[in-house]
Structure 1
């Protein structure tokens, strides 16, 4: 691989990394998940029966798991009130994590022994916390040149819950049952909406 090819490969990786960050201007606010928004992600729901719904919230790469799960809970409560009910029961819940790792080589790095001997380099393995054992081959460098490489990991979380909605007081002996108005009141101070967004339901 010549120097021009190396530089092209490095730029391709940087371009892919930049595209992955394109929807990460800021953390996903509390908003419906609509394509083409300035900040990607948001809530969505599917009605499965008269009082049964699947609620989801997806966050971008700047949105923490806690925020995604909190916004999901808030949307479940908000949806319950919108449908004319008082409390909801969580039947099932799942949080998915998507992680993409990018390696950014220095396209201008030149080994002291010359690029024509690039295939002379042996293969090495090293341990990176959170990633486990990694292998570096001649085209990507090895532990002696790890200072020439930066590893970036992008995480995105999406949470889902299946709920049923009900009227009257929530049963005190059911830990999966939540009073919708209580949830709204508790979580409202932590809800960040898009610029110009309105307040929450009461």
Structure 2
């Protein structure tokens, strides 16, 4: 019975990880948005997604957080002073008979009196699958302003951004 409960708990945890990062604050090990106040009207913000969150979503969530932060602080518009999107890609190998120690598929093993058990791999016939995993993190430094939005392509009306992007925001379940 105990094994069944542990298995069910493990599956529940893994099931929660199999979705893109929702729009949320990054607390502890969870991914999401963070912000740092630099001056009264200047912030550094970022949004980090998991490997299931695409680049467009990460950048959308960053802009939405910038507009929310602007309105929360009593401002009308924000100007993006500096902006970047970082990409981290990993390639992972998997396959039948893969050894966690050697990094190769082990199909044949033999014992050598001096070195112990050894595996042999065939790079032409071993069945190895590769999976690529990419995560994105968008960051920006923004300057908040009041009144009419400046005629600048890097300036955004906070309420317009929230209105236009609001339908694309996916919040965590139960939150």
TM-score normalised over the length of structure 1: 0.67
The equivalent position to 1:189 in structure 2, one of 164, 167, 170, is 167
**Aligned to 2:125, what secondary structure does the other structure show?**
helix
1:105 alignment partner in structure 2: 95
Structure 1 stretches lacking a partner, 5+ long: 1-20, 117-137, 198-202
Distance, in Å, in 1 between the alignment partners of 2:106 and 2:80 is 58
TM alignment of 1:1-202, pairs within 5 A: 24-36=17-29, 40-107=30-97, 115-116=109-110, 141-142=122-123, 144-145=124-125, 148-172=127-151, 174-197=152-175
**Aligned to 1:54, what secondary structure does the other structure show?**
strand
Task: State the shift of 1:171 in Å.
Answer: 1.5
Distance, in Å, in 2 between the alignment partners of 1:68 and 1:139 is 44
Structure 2 stretches lacking a partner, 5+ long: 1-13, 99-104, 111-118
Paired positions, count: 148
Q: Deviations over 1:66-98 (max 9, x none)?
A: 100000000000000011100000000011111
**Aligned to 1:184, what secondary structure does the other structure show?**
helix
Conservation of the 8 A alpha-carbon contact between 2:81 and 2:141: yes
Task: State the shift of 1:196 in Å.
Answer: 2.6
Q: Deviations over 1:36-84 (max 9, x none)?
A: 5xxx311110000110000100001110011000000000000000111
TM-score normalised over the length of structure 2: 0.77
**Aligned to 2:148, what secondary structure does the other structure show?**
coil
Distance, in Å, in 1 between the alignment partners of 2:89 and 2:106 is 31
Distance, in Å, in 2 between the alignment partners of 1:52 and 1:102 is 40
Task: State the shift of 1:141 in Å.
Answer: 3.7
